[in-house]
Structures are given as C-alpha cells and as structure tokens.
Chains A and B, each alone.
Chain A
C-alpha cells in the first residue's frame, strides 16, 4: 500500500510541476511585450547565452565534422563509395548532430548558468525586492533570458553544422584525397533545403524553447538555499538533456520516418 502511495505521490508531484511550469512560461511569454521598448535587456542576455557559448560550439562542431569525415571515409571506402562522403557528413550534421549536440552543449553551458543565476537571485531575495518596487521579475528578469535562449539556439546549431561540414571537407578532401568536386556535388544533390535544412532549423528552435523554458523555470522554482540552487542546476541539465533526446526521436519520426 505504501509503495503505491509513494508512486502516486511522485506522479502527482511531477504533473503538478509540469502544470506550474507551463503556466509560468505562459505568463512569461504573455508579459514579454513590455520588452519591446527595452530590447537591450534581451540583447544583453543573447550576449550571455549566445556569444559566450560560441567558442565551445565552434570547437565541438569542427571536431565532430573531422571525426565524421574520418569514420565515414573508412566505412564508405569498403563499398568504393567515398565520393558520397560529403553527403554523409552534411546529412548527419544538418539532420541530427547539429541540433542535438548543440542542444546538449547549450543545456550544459547556458541552461545551467541561467538556472544558477535566477536561483541565486531568488535565494538572495533580489526577485522579492523587485516585486517590492512594483517591478515584475517575470518580465524584467525571466522573459529576456527565455527569449534570448530561443533566439540563440537555432543560430548556434546552424553554425555548428556549417563548421562541421568544413571540418569534414578538411579531412575528406584535404587529408584523405576525396575529389573536391564529387564531395560538394554529391552533397548538393542529396541535401534538400526544405526536407533537411529547414527541418533541422525547426528541431533546434524547439530545443531552444524546451531548454530555456526548463532552465528559467527550475531557477525560479528553486528552493532558496545553496543546496536548492545546486539541485535546481543539476535538474536543469538532466531534464533538458532527456527532453532533447526524447523530443529528437519524436520529431525525427515525424519529419523523416514517414510515420
């Protein structure tokens, strides 16, 4: 009996948090119109979550591209199909690795920072202080961070894919001697703008919404102590990574799986 009660408690608690999170995000988005004359707040946050994440994204993208080039070449050469290396690298990056790896890195680098910052503001009663001064912290603090995350994520994913293709080209054409013309022409014949690239952008956009939403909600909902902020940061990374991987499967099935 007790086991059932604990199980029920976990499920009810989970659903309750999901509901609170959704209503919180609705309030944030609905109140975000006040940012129109104060757009600088958003720009500041794009700097924090986007520009400062740029380095790790570019370096990872380059190395993922390099490794894809090497591994793909070694597999394709067995079938004498090494001319398709460009297609393999570009499709893997644009469809899957670009959005997903960027989202995981983004959750670790920017999402955790957002949660920690907001959680600490709550713990040190800065949010309560704003409310005392009749400033709504949802629109002043939370909304710019959420919107900045949604803006930055697709741009980061696009840069990841682009630099990954460069990396694949470096290894394939520069190091392993795949014909440069075949590399690019096979890629351009096989990669469709709507089917592949736009779907990748849609994926990264959805990941941006999910990660930023989880990050700001966990920060705002954190228990206002040092342990509370620490476990909220922890939860942000775990939940957003799991959400990204699960949503990726669903979106891939809908976009490419023909279901």
Chain B
C-alpha cells in the first residue's frame, strides 16, 4: 500500500494538473484574454445591409483590430440597420469624417467593419455617428448584377 504522504503528493499533482488544464483551455484555447476593449467608447453607423455581421464581430483600421461590434438593431424610421461599435479607448483620435464599410475576410469568411479615417480636424466622441458607410457585399446580388450585365450585352464570339 502506498504511503499517506505519497497519496497526498499525487493528489496535489492531480488537482494542480486539472487546474492547469482548465487554465490552458481558458487562455490558450478560449478568448478570455482577448476581451480587451479597455475604456471603450461607442460610435454608431447606419448601413443599408449588414449582411452576416454579428455582435462581437471585429472593427479594424488598416487591418488592425481596434474594437468590436456591440449592438445591431433595425431602425424603423429610416429602414436601415443601426450598428453600434465599441472602440478601444486608446484610439481616441478618429476624425469625424471617418468612413465605415463592411468587408469580408476571404471569399466566404467572416464579416467585419473596416474604418477609413478621413481628414477632419475634429474627432469622434462617445455616441457620435459615422456618416459615410458602405454596406455589405451580398454575393447573390453581385451574381445577379453580373448576370444581367451579360444578358444586356452578350459577350462577343471569337
């Protein structure tokens, strides 16, 4: 029979390994570390179509993630989608004429919002609205447009 001290050591190792495994799952596999929008401020934008944009989708500038989408709702007055973004407090100096467009990473990948800073001297504040927006590209509409283009003007035969 194994001694009392050895049992205690083994159980200690076992519990420590279990907690370590949970830690690995939380920090390496999960996204506990990347909930990192600190001192965020909210800006909003209207889009004609948000495509498959979701809450928590990334908001990027020049490809770098600066915040996340915090809310998407339908505005019944303008028949547009109202998207609220939570931007990291470190990036306070976004000009008021910044544009927002919904892009897709890869051909069929996740959708995200890309902000394009303009040249104005005043900066966006908490609750400001972005005026220049470009909606999501919907693949079906795009294909439809290409098809009608071909029907209007059939490609010449060689």
Contacts and interface: CB of A to CB of B under 8 A. Distances in A.
A159 B17 contact: yes
Contacts of B20: 162
B63 interface: no
A197 B18 CA distance: 14
Interface residues of chain B: helix, strand, loop or mixed (majority): helix
A46 interface: yes
Interface string B10-23: 11011101111110
Contact of A193 (B4, B11, B19, B26): B26
Interface string A42-77: 011011001100100000000000000000000000
A158 B30 contact: no
Contacts of A187: 29
Contact of A162 (B10, B14, B21): B21
B31 A189 contact: yes
B24 interface: yes
A191 B29 contact: yes
A54 B14 CA distance: 8
A242 to B, nearest CB: 26
Contacts of A161: 21, 25, 29
Nearest to A200: B25
B interface, size bucket: 20 to 34
B56 to A, nearest CB: 9
A interface, size bucket: 20 to 34
A164 to B, nearest CB: 10
Contacts of A196: 30
B14 A46 contact: yes
B7 interface: yes
B14 A192 contact: no
B66 to A, nearest CB: 16
Nearest to A153: B18
A197 B11 contact: no
B7 A158 contact: no
A197 B14 contact: no
Interface in A166-196: 184, 187-189, 191-193, 196
A40 interface: yes
A165 B30 contact: no
Given A155-B22, A158-B25, 8 more contacts: A46-B11, A94-B25, A158-B22, A159-B17, A162-B24, A165-B24, A165-B29, A188-B28
Interface of B: 2, 4, 7-8, 10-11, 13-15, 17-22, 24-26, 28-32, 34
Q: State the 9 A-B residue pairs at the shortest beta-carbon distance, nearest first.
A: A155-B18, A162-B21, A158-B21, A193-B30, A159-B21, A193-B32, A158-B22, A162-B24, A47-B7
